[in-house]
């Protein structure tokens, strides 16, 4: 089992609410990622971080924001949730080498009503 955890697993919230999806890893990995997964399966990179105080936007534009104040923690925040944000959000981490695998959390399935 990978030591990367996401909470909550499922979240149903009303439009306009602010939410934070939590992601923590205990492997000491420098690199962390957030992916958004469509119902049709494709994963889109929305944010990544190469270390503390480093955050970058991915290739899919997202209204969410992230922070990386501690190595082990990479939360994702939506200031005002909308139904279009309904999706599965997957957090992953990997160490610094290029020939390394990514470890994924179990995902957060977000539904905005």
Partner 1 sequence: SQQGEEDPQALSIQEGENATMNCSYKTSINNLQWYRQNSGRGLVHLILIRSNEREKHSGRLRVTLDTSKKSSSLLITASRAADTASYFCATRTGANNLFFGTGTRLTVIP
Chain residues that interact with partner 1, rule: CB under 8 A: 2, 6, 31, 33, 35, 40-45, 48, 58-60, 88, 90, 92, 94, 98-99, 101-107, 109
Between 16 and 32, CB nearer to partner 1: 32
Shortest distance, position 106 Cβ to partner 1, whole Å: 5
Q: Residue 44: how many CA atoms within 13 Å on its side-chain side?
A: 14
Q: Is 3 exposed, middle or buried (0-12, 13-18, 19+ CB in 10 A)?
A: middle
Q: Measuring CA to CA, how many Å separate 11 from each of 75, 79, 83, 94?
A: 15, 15, 13, 26
Shortest distance, position 37 Cβ to partner 1, whole Å: 9
Between 56 and 79, CB nearer to partner 1: 56
């Amino acid at each position: 089992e990978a030591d990367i955890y996401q909470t909550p697993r499922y979240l149903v919230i009303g439009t306009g609410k602010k939410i934070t999806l939590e992601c923590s890893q205990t492997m000491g990995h420098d690199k962390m990622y957030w992916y958004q997964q469509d119902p049709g399966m494709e994963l889109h990179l929305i944010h990544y971080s190469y270390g503390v105080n480093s955050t970058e936007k991915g290739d899919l534009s997202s209204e969410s924001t992230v922070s990386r104040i501690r190595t082990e923690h990479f939360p994702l925040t939506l200031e005002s949730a909308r139904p279009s944000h309904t999706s599965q959000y997957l957090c992953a981490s990997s160490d610094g080498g290029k020939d390394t695998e990514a470890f994924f959390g179990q995902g957060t399935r977000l539904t905005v009503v």
